[in-house]
Amino acid sequence: MTDEKYSPPKVWTWDQESGGRFANINRPISGATHDKELPVGKHPMQLYSLGTPNGVKVTVLLEELLALGYEGAEYDAYLINIGNGDQFGSGFVEINPNSKIPALLDRSSEPYTRVFESGAILVYLAEKFGEFIPTDPAARAECMSWLFWQMGSAPYLGGGFGHFYAYAPEKFEYPINRFAMEVKRQLDVLDKNLENRKFICGDEYNIADMAIHPWYGYLVLKNAYNAAEFLDVKSYKNVVRWAEEISERPAFKRGARVGRPPSGPEDNAIPERHDASDLD
């Protein structure tokens, strides 16, 4: 398969042999593929998720809220294994018709409230507890601007650059160039914003930081997609400084551990969280 020879047919059809990582879970059809009820725990918040950048945003916010003493933020985190197709189970699709993690069910409201899309979950929880979201209209607008910036930008990083640089069945110059250019531009946007700001919106840490850090913070600190050298991520010094500071927050450290099996004896990750002591 090379991009030079491909000429699109008149009507696209589903080629199940398209290859690449995740090819087995991608489908052009929405909805459930099988009946499966979701487990339910004892806490107000039921989180069905995975420790990916989008999933970590939510566990970090919940841990920050718990650190402030909000008992209503107690949560059960259940693992949705997207590699096995858990996101297409009927119970999960009822909470998120888009079949992607994270999805939240708030059982403290009557009727229960379902929330999907990580950005919507962050806003929902921040508003519910009145924390990590500014109330002043101008400050709130700045927070929303950066939160939505992340929601719009990260697909270029993950679905665009990450996919073609790390996951596609072959290396194609055209998409790698296109998305590397865009990701470096995004890093430059962040770096310039952080030149005179401690956090994304100023002096206060808020949900915009929590949304952006698992994507661009991981990119500059954790060699995401094995691309640290290729993208020269260390040159974005303000992003590195900001990312390091957030990584040191105790609640960040707890939240970032939830949602994946440990990769080895040194890794303190936990697949599910049902009690604060699971992370102690």
Nearer to ligand GSH, 155 or 250 (CB): 155
**SS3 at position 161:** helix
Question: Helix 53-67 and helix 118-129: axis angle, to 10°?
Answer: 10
Window 198-257: residues binding ligand GSH (CB under 6 A): none
Q: Is 198 exposed, middle or buried (0-12, 13-18, 19+ CB in 10 A)?
A: middle
Q: How far is the CB of 5 from ligand GSH (least distance, A)?
A: 28
What's the DSSP call for residue 73?
A: G
Query: How would DSSP label each residue in 84-104?
Result: GTGGGBHHHHHH-TT--S-EE
The encoded tokens of residue 223 equal: 């060699």
CA distance 274 to 214: 22
What's the DSSP call for residue 263?
A: S
54 contacts ligand GSH (rule: CB under 6 A): yes
Closest residue by Cα to residue 80 from 51, 116, 123:
51
Stretch of 100-108, 137-145, 179-187, 250-258 lying at the interface with ligand GSH (CB under 6 A)? 100-108
Q: How far is the CB of 64 from ligand GSH (least distance, A)?
A: 18
The residue behind tokens 């030149």 is 195
Q: Applying CB under 6 A, which of residues 60, 82, 123, 212 lies at the interface with ligand GSH?
A: 82
Window 104-133: residues binding ligand GSH (CB under 6 A): 117-119
The residue behind tokens 């270029």 is 156
101 contacts ligand GSH (rule: CB under 6 A): yes
Nearer to ligand GSH, 102 or 160 (CB): 102
Q: How far is the CB of 118 from ligand GSH (least distance, A)?
A: 4
99 contacts ligand GSH (rule: CB under 6 A): yes
Nearer to ligand GSH, 152 or 250 (CB): 152
Closest residue by Cα to residue 146 from 104, 64, 205:
205
Site string for ligand GSH, 7-46 (x = CB under 6 A): ------------------x---------------------
193 contacts ligand GSH (rule: CB under 6 A): no
Nearer to ligand GSH, 113 or 177 (CB): 113
Q: How many residues bind ligand GSH (CB under 6 A)?
A: 12
Half-sphere exposure of 45 (CA within 13 A, CB side): 28
Q: How far is the CB of 85 from ligand GSH (least distance, A)?
A: 8
Q: How many residues does the chain have?
A: 280
Nearer to ligand GSH, 100 or 260 (CB): 100
190 contacts ligand GSH (rule: CB under 6 A): no
CA distance 280 to 63: 12
Positions in the binding site for ligand GSH (CB under 6 A): 25, 52, 54, 82, 87, 99-102, 117-119
